[in-house]
Amino acid sequence: MTTLQKIQAAEKRIKELKLLIRHWKASEASSAHVALELIEGLVIEDYEKVAS
C-alpha cells in the first residue's frame, strides 16, 4: 500500500467515524430539529469538500 493509499484509507475512516459520532449525537438529541441540524451539517461538509 502506497502512502497515498494509506492517506485515502485514513480519510475515509475519519469520515466514517464522524458520521458515527453524528448519528450518536442525533439519537441523543432532545428534539428532532436538533437531530436534523446535526445530520444536515454532515451533508453541508460533504458538499463543500466536493465543491472545492
- For position 45, what pLDDT does the model report? 64
Q: What is the extent of the structural domain holding 17? A: 3-51
User: Count of domains in the chain?
Assistant: 1
Amino acid in position 39? I
pTM: 0.57
Which segment of 7-11, 18-22, 45-49 scores lowest on mean pLDDT? 45-49
- The torsion of the CA quartet 20, 24, 25, 26, rounded to 10 degrees, works out to 100
